[in-house]
Amino acid sequence: MSMLLAHPGFYSVVAEADGRVVGSNFLDERAFIMGVGPITVDPTGQNQGVGGRLMQEVLDRAAGRQAAGVRLLQAGFHNRSLCLYTKLGFHTREPVSILQGKPLGQKFAGYEVRSAAADDVAACNRICRQVHGFDREAEVRDAIAGGTASVVEHLGQVVAYTTAIAFVGHSVAETNQGLMALIAASPEFGGPGFLVPTRNHEVFSWCLGMGLKLVYQMTLMTIGLYNEPEGPYLPSILY
């Protein structure tokens, strides 16, 4: 929360009742596709419309900023939030699995994983545009500055990148081999774990075979522009 509140790329909002904070929400404005979350509501203030007001506030903000789209990851077990987001106009896109476990410490022959540098930004943008139709340059630059970004080189070319194999990081690759190389080389899986689109059978089943455990399921939901991904990726908790 402190990081989000301090970051100029995030819009932050709270809900108050009787002078007391009863909820909060955030909007990542670093790309023209914006991400929502985390949203929190005090247990004593639930089922009173607080979550709906917080969501509408960030959606109004995104509309005012002329965002091409808004996305979020919804906890699969939370039926009420799924219904709320659907009523607000979000479309369900695909299930996503959160995985956790010990670092794998593996290498893929011919795929070199190294820390990303500023000179890699153009290649990262190219891969992201190839898969998603847009880039996430500001996030990549933040991750490079924070020392969490990595790239994969294969046959002399950057073929995959990650801002972190973690709850708050996203990854994009030209092939599943590049994506698995990033996961295999990650020194840790930050937060509750990292997110894998469940329909990517090769990567999901490989992760399970490597001993990683399913924590729980989430649902990718979107408003506005959405291009079906044209390659493998790992979303962050935002998208």
Dihedral-angle region of residue 197 (phi above 0 means left; psi in -120 to 50 means alpha; beta otherwise) = beta
Q: Is 157 part of a structural domain of the chain?
A: yes
Does 50 share its domain with 149? no
Q: Which residues, including other chains, have CB under 8 Å from residue 157's CB and lie 6 or more apart?
A: 123
Give phi and psi for 133, each to the nearest 5: 90, 0
Which DSSP string do the residues of 164-185 spell out, in sequence order? -SBTT--EEESSHHHHHHHHHH
CATH of the domain at 80: 3.40.630.30
For residue 48, the model assigns a pLDDT of: 83
Checking if the pLDDT of 44 tops 90, the result is no
Does 174 share its domain with 187? yes
pLDDT band at 45 (very low <50, low <70, confident <90, very high): confident
Q: Is 239 part of a structural domain of the chain?
A: no
Q: Rounded CA gap, 220 and 235, in Å? A: 9
Residues forming a β-bridge with 160: 152, 173
What is the tally of structural domains in the chain?
Answer: 2
Q: Is 171 part of a structural domain of the chain?
A: yes
Q: Is 237 part of a structural domain of the chain?
A: no
Q: What is the pLDDT of residues 56-111, one digit of tens each?
A: 999 999 999 999 999 999 999 999 999 999 999 999 999 999 999 999 999 999 99
Q: Rounded CA gap, 4 and 46, in Å? A: 23
Mean of the per-residue pLDDT values of the chain: 96
Does 186 share its domain with 92? no
Q: Rounded CA gap, 172 and 143, in Å? A: 14
- Percent of the chain past pLDDT 90, that is, above it, reads 95
Does 58 share its domain with 141? no
pTM metric for this prediction: 0.94
Domain boundary among 80, 98, 116: 98
Q: Is 122 part of a structural domain of the chain?
A: yes
Does 10 share its domain with 90? yes
Q: Which domain holds residue 104?
A: 99-195+202-213
Return the CA Rg of the chain. Answer: 18
Does 56 share its domain with 40? yes
Q: What is the pLDDT of residues 130-173, one digit of tens each?
A: 999 999 999 999 999 999 999 999 999 999 999 999 999 999 99
Q: Is 183 part of a structural domain of the chain?
A: yes
Q: Is 147 part of a structural domain of the chain?
A: yes
Handedness of CA 219, 196, 171, 229 (dihedral sign): negative
